[in-house]
Amino acid sequence: MLEGKFEEASLLKKIVEAMKDCVSSCNFNCTENGISVQAVDNSRVLLISLLIEKDTFEEYRCDRNITLGIGLGSFSKIIGNGANSDYLTIQAEDDADTLGIIFEDKVKDKISEYNLKLLDIDADLLEVDAMETDATITLPSADFAKICKDMKTLSESLQITVTKDSAKFQSAGEIGSGSVVIKPKTDIDHPEESITISLDKPIDLSFGSKYLSDIIKATSLSQKVTIKLTEDSPGVFEYKLPSGYLRFYLAPKFDE
Amino acid sequence: TGTQGRLDKFFVVK
The confidence band for A255, taking pLDDT boundaries of 50, 70 and 90, is: confident
The answer to whether the CB atoms of A125 and B3 lie below 8 A apart is no
**Predicted local confidence at residue A124, as pLDDT:** 87
For residue A60, give the nearest of A111, A1, A12, A9 by alpha carbon.
Answer: A1
Using one digit for the tens of pLDDT, what is the confidence trace for A150-195? Answer: 999 999 999 999 998 899 999 999 999 999 999 999 989 998 999 9
Task: Work out the average pLDDT over B1-14.
Answer: 91
The confidence band for A231, taking pLDDT boundaries of 50, 70 and 90, is: very high
Using one digit for the tens of pLDDT, what is the confidence trace for A9-37? Answer: 999 999 999 999 999 999 999 999 999 99
Chain B CB contacts of A43 below 8 Å: 4, 6
A/B interface, count of CB pairs below 8 Å: 62
Quote the ipTM score.
0.96
- Contact in structure between A167 and A181 (CB atoms under 8 Å): yes
**How far is it, in rounded angstroms, from Cα A189 to Cα A75?**
39
Distance from CA of A157 to the nearest CA of B (A): 7
Across the interface, of B2, B7, B14, the residue whose CB is closest to A45 is B7
Looking at the DSSP assignment, which residues form a beta bridge with residue A92? A2
Chain B CB contacts of A173 below 8 Å: 1
**Predicted local confidence at residue B14, as pLDDT:** 84
**Predicted local confidence at residue A42, as pLDDT:** 94
- Contact in structure between A144 and A225 (CB atoms under 8 Å): yes
The upper half-sphere exposure of residue A97, i.e. CA atoms within 13 Å in the direction of its Cβ, equals 1
The answer to whether the CB atoms of A45 and B8 lie below 8 A apart is no
